[in-house]
């Protein structure tokens, strides 16, 4: 049942229906707790985190994701690869959320934690979703772009091999790189005027 509520939460995100997202995420958490499914609970908490982020409550959103990742670390009944994948997704998402909240040091620390977990996640496509070293770099691009470090965003993007990535991830990478180049150009323009 938790999986159905998580799907409803994802649909709500795509539709921009924050009220439905909050309700579906809350029900997903309750159903996962009732069923005792650690991975389902982690996914439900990821949806809750998304709800807080969409509401602009970045600190709370990051806390929910990090706590869920930490709780999942002790779920020894979950296969190691699936556990690492889910933890990494939560930590990478928390890093992006911290960046949205202008917490540069928090975002970088969480990216480092996600990177460490990625080293334990051999398969990028798992039952719980998609995660691996490239996912961490994709989040790094987004984090630097959000934190107004376009040069670092572009440098990170150059380390990504887009072959085999889901189309949505390739599109997101392209948008982040385009925004970074736009920001970089705007900065050069402003700095050029300042030096005159």
Q: What is the pLDDT of residue 62?
A: 96
Rounded to whole angstroms, how far apart are CA atoms 182 and 40? Answer: 39
Please report the pLDDT score of residue 68 as a whole number: 94
**What is the pLDDT confidence band of residue 123, given thresholds at 50, 70 and 90?**
low
- As a whole number, mean pLDDT of residues 20-41 equals 87
Q: Looking at the 3D structure of the chain, how many domains does it have?
A: 1
Quick one: pLDDT at residue 190? 42
Top pLDDT among 51 and 144 is at: 144
In SS3 terms, 49-72 reads as HHHHHHCCCHHHHHHHHHHHHHHH
Residue 124: predicted pLDDT: 56
* Local confidence band at 78 (pLDDT 50, 70, 90 cut-offs): confident
Mean pLDDT in residue range 71-93: 88
pLDDT in tens, 130-159: 688 889 999 999 999 999 999 999 999 999
Question: pLDDT tens digits for 161-172?
Answer: 988 888 988 999
Q: Are 117 and 84 in contact (CB under 8 A)?
A: yes
DSSP 157: H
Find residue 125's DSSP bridge partners: 130
Q: What is the DSSP string of 84-152?
A: HHHHHHHHHHHHHHHHHTT-HHHHHHHHHHHHHHHTT---SEETTEE-SHHHHHHHHHHHHHHTT-HHH
The pLDDT of residue 49 is 92
The per-residue b/e assignment along 84-105, b for 16 or more CB within 10 angstroms, e otherwise, is bbbbbbbbbbbbbbbbbbebbe
Residue among 30, 100, 28 nearest 58 (CA) = 100
**Residue 191: pLDDT band with limits 50, 70, 90:** very low
Between the two ends of the chain, the Cα-to-Cα distance in Å is 64
Most distant pair of Cα atoms in the chain: their distance: 66
State pTM to two decimals.
0.85
Domain, as residue range, for 172: 2-194
CATH number at residue 59: 1.25.40.10
């Amino acid at each position: 049942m938790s999986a159905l509520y998580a799907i409803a939460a994802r649909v709500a995100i795509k539709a921009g229906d924050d009220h439905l997202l909050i309700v579906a995420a809350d029900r997903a958490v309750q159903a996962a707790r009732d069923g005792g499914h650690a991975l389902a609970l982690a996914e439900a908490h990821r949806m809750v985190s998304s709800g807080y982020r969409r509401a602009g409550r970045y600190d709370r959103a990051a806390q929910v994701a990090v706590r869920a990742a930490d709780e999942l670390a002790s779920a020894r009944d979950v296969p190691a690869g699936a556990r690492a994948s889910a933890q990494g997704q939560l930590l990478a998402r928390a890093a992006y959320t911290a960046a949205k909240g202008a917490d540069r040091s928090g975002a970088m620390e969480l990216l480092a934690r996600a990177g460490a977990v990625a080293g334990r996640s051999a398969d990028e496509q798992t039952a719980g979703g998609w995660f691996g070293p490239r996912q961490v770099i994709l989040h790094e691009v987004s984090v630097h772009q959000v934190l107004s470090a376009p040069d670092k965003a572009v440098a990170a993007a150059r380390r990504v091999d887009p072959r085999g990535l889901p189309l949505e991830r390739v599109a997101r990478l392209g948008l982040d790189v385009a925004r970074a180049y736009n920001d970089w150009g705007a900065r050069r323009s402003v700095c050029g005027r300042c030096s005159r």
